[in-house]
Amino acid sequence: MGSAIGASPAIAAENPYERGPAPTNSSIEASRGSFAVSETSVSSLSVSGFGGGTIYYPTSTSAGTFGAIAISPGYTAYQSSIAWLGPRIASQGFVVFTIDTNTTLDQPDSRATQLLAALDYLTQRSTIRTRIDTTRLGVMGHSMGGGGTLRAAANRPALQAAIPLTGWHTDKSWGDVRVPTLVVGADGDTIAPVATHSKPFYNTLPSSLDRAYLELRGATHLTPNSSNTTIAKYSISWLKRFIDNDTRYEQFLCPTPSSSLLIAEFRGNCPHTSS
């Protein structure tokens, strides 16, 4: 009895950021996780530096604070194009902010600035700021929002995770990124072909960095705009592993998944080194 009482605080001290039950393949592929989710709209008129958006967050506060992620849409797109990611990721134990950009034509570096402005709003001014652990933040984005994700990671190394989804950027070299990054490409992408975008993005990330490259099979540039279990499964695992330091999710990332009907290629440095 005495050892059991003594062991519990030690486990908590090892990782106080774990949220939710031990994961299974089914739990990370499910359309919803274990947390009930609420949402609140943020008007563009009430913020500066980005175009407003929707915050999805776990309804209950009993588990403590949560890590948070801002997600940018792509060129000419609105937050509706990435809205499916909001409740899906939030229900796994995160605060998720899907944003609109100032204009739909904003370029990647502008989207980077807007992602960071959204995180600042989320942690400093939003109505749910007390639910967020400000030390555990990440960024995601589609297309030019994916390019913006890389730039945001380069500009703010304190971030814990970055996930560009079929990212587009004229800059092909990302050796200055210090944030664990999962690059997601699509084998049928003709707008941001993996040979000239996602693969160079991944290859130029520092070799010492926790990084991974997932190439979706039978997918296009617009695949991230619809509910997609493969994107969700590995994005959730990445966010859990690096924002929450939750090594229970390492099993889904290392050893790297094999090629399959859904995965054309998966590369990464295993085992991961970030604590």
The tokens describing 235, both together, are 């994005």
Catalytic site residues? 143, 189, 221
- The whole-number pLDDT of residue 273 equals 86
- The whole-number pLDDT of residue 7 equals 39
**DSSP characters for 78-112?**
-GGGGTTHHHHHHTTTEEEEEE--SSTT--HHHHH
All residue ranges of the chain with pLDDT < 50 are 1-13
The tokens describing 120, both together, are 């600042």
> Exposed, middle or buried, 273 (CB in 10 Å: 0-12/13-18/19+)?
exposed
- Side chain identity at residue 5, one-letter code: I
Apex CA 98: angle with CA 15 and CA 220, to 5°? 100
CA 160 to chain CA centroid, Å, is 9
**DSSP characters for 229-270?**
HHHHHHHHHHHHHHHS--GGGGGGTSSPPPP-SSEEEEEE-S
- The whole-number pLDDT of residue 275 equals 67
Residues 222 and 217: their CA atoms lie apart, in Å, by 13
- The whole-number pLDDT of residue 225 equals 98
pTM (predicted TM-score) = 0.94
